[in-house]
Chains A and B, each alone.
Chain A
C-alpha cells in the first residue's frame, strides 16, 4: 500500500526537520492538550486514534502566538523565524491521523493471523519467532503428520511474503522496547553492554534505539529481508518422528525455487583491546544490582572451554563457589550471583557476573566478595572433586537434553549459526571434559584482569554517593 508508505516518509521528513528536542517539546504539549479534552469528547473519541489527533489539532493554535504564555515568553524557538516548525508539527499530527485511518483501511485487505490459524487448527505448539544477537529463528511444534503442511507454509512465507501490517507492528515493537525500559534488570544489562563494547555490535541493544525504530520505513525492512532471508543464509532443522528420505524429498520440492541472495559474512568489526577498567553507575529507583564483565574468546578458541568450566564452578547449583560463599556463608546477596558468557556465541563475548545485594550490604561489598572469588581461581588450584562434579553434571545434562526435541533443534541451529559445523556439538563436549585445573588457573589469570573489566552498578538516586565511594570500605 503505497499511500501508507508516502505518509510514513513524510512523517519521517518532518520529524528529522524538527530535530528531536523540538519535536519532543511540541509532542509533550499536544499530549497535555489530549489529556485535557472535555470528557464528553473523550468518551466520543473512545479508541479512535485518528479522531483523537484531529480533536487535538482543533485545540492547538494555528500559529505560535496562540501558544501558552510560558512558552512564548521563555522559548526562543517560537520566534518568527521558527514559525514554520510549528506549521510542520501541525502537519505531522494530521499525518498521524491519516496514518491511523490508512491502517484501518488496510485491514480490509488483510487476513489477520491467517498463518497462526492454519497451524493452530492443526494442533501446533509454540509458533513464534525471535531475534537474538546471532540469529533470527522461526519455530513451531507440529504433530508429525503435518510435515508437508510445514513445508508448504514455510517455503511460501519466505519466498512470497507481503508485509502488510508493518506500521501497526512497529508500534508494537515500540511497546516492547518500553516494556524493557521499565525493568531494572534490563536497564542495567543494556548499559553494562554498551559500556563494555566500543565497536562491536554486541554492545548495542537487539531492538536498536527508539529513534531508529520510530524512523524505520517498510521499505527499509524489505531491503533487510531480501538480503538476509535467503536460502544461502539459512538452515532448516527438523527433529521428531519423520522419515528422513521424505523430508529431503519434500524440502527439495518446496524450497528449490527459493533464490539465493548476495549475503556474505558482513560482520567484520573487531572489538579493540580494552585499555583500562570501565565503571558505570545507573541511578534508578529500584533496589541495587551489579554486573561485572571481562572480554573473552569464544569456541573453538581453546580458552573458551575453560571459561565455560569456570562458570560452572562459580555458579549454577548449591555447591558452586558463589552459592556457598557469597549467598550462603556470607549472606551478602538475595540469591547466588550468576556467571555466564554472552551476549552471543558467534563473536568474542563477555564473561558476565551479576548479583543483587541483600540489604544492608552495598554493591561495593558484594563486588569485593565476587572479585575475591575470582582471585582465588588464579591463586589456588580448583579441587579434583569440584572439577569431577562439573564433569558429571555436564554428562548428565547431555543425556537429559537428548530427551527434548526442541533442545536438539536449537542446538543444531546454534551449531550452524555460530560455527557452521554441526559436529561442533560433540567436539565441544569432548574439549570441555578435558579442561584441567592448570588450564583454569592460567585462563583466569589471563582474562580476569582489572584492565579487561567492566563494572555496572545500579543504585537509588539517594544512594549514589555511597555506591561510588569504593575506597571507604564501609559496608554496614
Chain B
C-alpha cells in the first residue's frame, strides 16, 4: 500500500531566506472561498484475507514505506468474575512479563529489546490481544517468541506478586486525581453490577491465585475464534505461511467463552457527590444509550459531534467560548457492539462557578434535545465527517487494528465504506430525531467531585444528592 498523501517530500521554509522572482507571483484571492482547490483523489486501501486449517482467520495490510512489520492476534475472552476483578489484567501482564518455562523473563526481554523490537499483551473485558512490532527481518523471531509464550508460559510467583502489589498501589492512588474519581464513579452508576461498571479492589486483587491465571490462559488461548493480522512491509503469502508455521498446529476447540451480560438499569437520576478538597470542581453527567446495531448509530454519532466535540460544538461554544467557564468541556456518545452504550458530558470549573456551569450544561443539552442542530451545523458536521475520512487510512497499523476488530466481532469488513455512505446520505431530520429520542436531559446521572461548601449553588438544586465515599480499607 502506498497512499497518495503519505510522505513524498519534506520541506521547510525559513521565511527570511525565501526569495523568488516577482514575476511568478500571482494575486491573492479575495476570500478563502475563492481559493480553487483541486479534487482530492484517494481510495480506501486494499487488504487481503487468509485462513489456516485450524480455524485462524488472517488479515494483511501491505505497506512498504518503511521496513517494519506489525502484527496482532485477538483472542475472545470472558469478563472478570465479580470476586476476582483484575484477573484478565493480571494474566495478560504476567504472560508478557513472566517469560516461558524455557526462557527466563529477563532473557526474553533482553533478546526482544536488543533487536529493538516490541511485544505487548493487552486485554479488556472481552478480548486478549497479543501484538508485536519490529524490523521485517525480525518477524519470524518475534512470532517464534509469541508462540513460546502462549505455549509454555511460566506464570512465575514472583511476577504475579509484583503485578499484584502494583495493582494494589494503583488502587491506593485512585483518589489522587479528581477527574479520575468522577470517571470511575459515573461508570459504576451507568453500568451498575456489570463488568464495565466494576473496579478492582484490595479484596478482588488479593483473591486472584496462580491457578486462576493458568485456567484463564487455557480458556482464552484458543485458536478457534482467533484473528491474526499483519501490516507493514510484508507480503500476504508470507503472512499466511508464517501464521501456519507458528500457530497452525495449535488445536482449536470450540470452547465456551462467557460473553458480557446485558446491562441493567442505570442508577436513579440525581447528584452523586464526592467531597474532595480541590480548587476546581469536576462535573460529569451521563445516561445509557443505544448500542452499535441500532439504526440510529450514524445519526447519533453526528448528533453528538455537533453537541460536544471540537471547538465549534454547542457545549464548547456556550461554556468555554461564551462564558469562559471551563478549559475543557466535551460530550461523548459510545455505541458499543455487545451491550447498551453511554452518553456523557464533562467539564472542570472553579468551585465558585460549578453550579452555573452545571446549570448551563444541562440547559444546552435540553435545548439541543428539543430542537436539534441548525442547517448550518448539520451541513458543517456532515462535510467534516465525509472530508476527514481520509485520515482513517493514514497508518497501516490503524487500518489493520480496525479490520481485526471487525473480523473478531463478525462485522462486515467493508463497514467503514458503508458508514461513509451512511454519513453522506444522512438528512438533518435524522439528526434532529436522534437528538430528540436519544438525549435524556431529565434522566441524567450527575457526578460532582469538589467541595460543595465553596460552590456557588447547593447541589440539591440539581436533584437528590447522594454522597459518595472512599472504599473501606
Contacts and interface: CB of A to CB of B under 8 A. Distances in A.
A438 B311 CA distance: 52
Nearest to A412: B12
A256 B109 CA distance: 54
Given A35-B457, A178-B348, A249 B279 contact: no
Interface stretch (B82-90, B267-275, B318-326, B423-431): B318-326
B35 A148 contact: yes
A76 to B, nearest CB: 26
B195 to A, nearest CB: 25
A168 B322 contact: yes
Contact of B391 (A52, A123, A260): A123
A235 B13 contact: yes
A302 to B, nearest CB: 25
Contacts of B65: 403
A370 B68 CA distance: 35
Contacts of A153: 32
B384 interface: yes
A328 B162 contact: yes
A123 B66 contact: no
Interface in B324-383: 324-328, 348-350, 352, 355-357, 359-360, 363, 380, 383
Contact of A124 (B325, B352, B363, B388): B388
Interface stretch (B172-180, B220-228, B440-448): B172-180
B26 A178 contact: no
A46 B363 contact: yes
Given A168-B321, A175-B349, A334-B170, A358 B327 contact: no
Given A46-B359, A335-B166, A359-B172, A169 B324 contact: yes
A126 B178 CA distance: 26
B13 A247 contact: yes
Contacts of A242: 8-9, 11
Contacts of B390: 123, 143
A324 B456 CA distance: 50
Interface stretch (A179-187, A195-203, A344-352, A442-450): A179-187
A349 B166 CA distance: 32
A389 B67 CA distance: 19
B5 interface: yes
Contact of B166 (A235, A239, A251, A334): A334
Contacts of B173: 286-287, 334, 356
Interface in B262-318: 277-280, 310-312, 316-317
A183 B176 CA distance: 8
Interface stretch (B37-45, B53-61, B234-242): B37-45
Contacts of B37: 122, 145-146, 148-149
B12 A237 contact: yes
B27 to A, nearest CB: 8
A43 B321 CA distance: 23
Contacts of B162: 328, 331
Interface in A104-118: 104, 107, 112-113, 116-118
A165 interface: yes
A232 B40 CA distance: 33
B389 A123 contact: yes
Interface in A428-471: none
A144 interface: yes
Contacts of B215: none
A108 to B, nearest CB: 12
B280 A179 contact: yes
Contacts of B177: 182-184
A18 B29 CA distance: 52
Contact of A144 (B4, B20, B66): B4
Contacts of A184: 176-177
Contacts of B172: 287, 359
Nearest to B33: A118
A231 B89 CA distance: 52
B469 interface: no
Interface string A398-424: 011011010010001100100000100
A287 B168 CA distance: 12
Nearest to B389: A123
B436 interface: no
Given A47-B359, A392-B114, A116 B310 contact: yes
A104 B317 CA distance: 12
Nearest to A169: B324
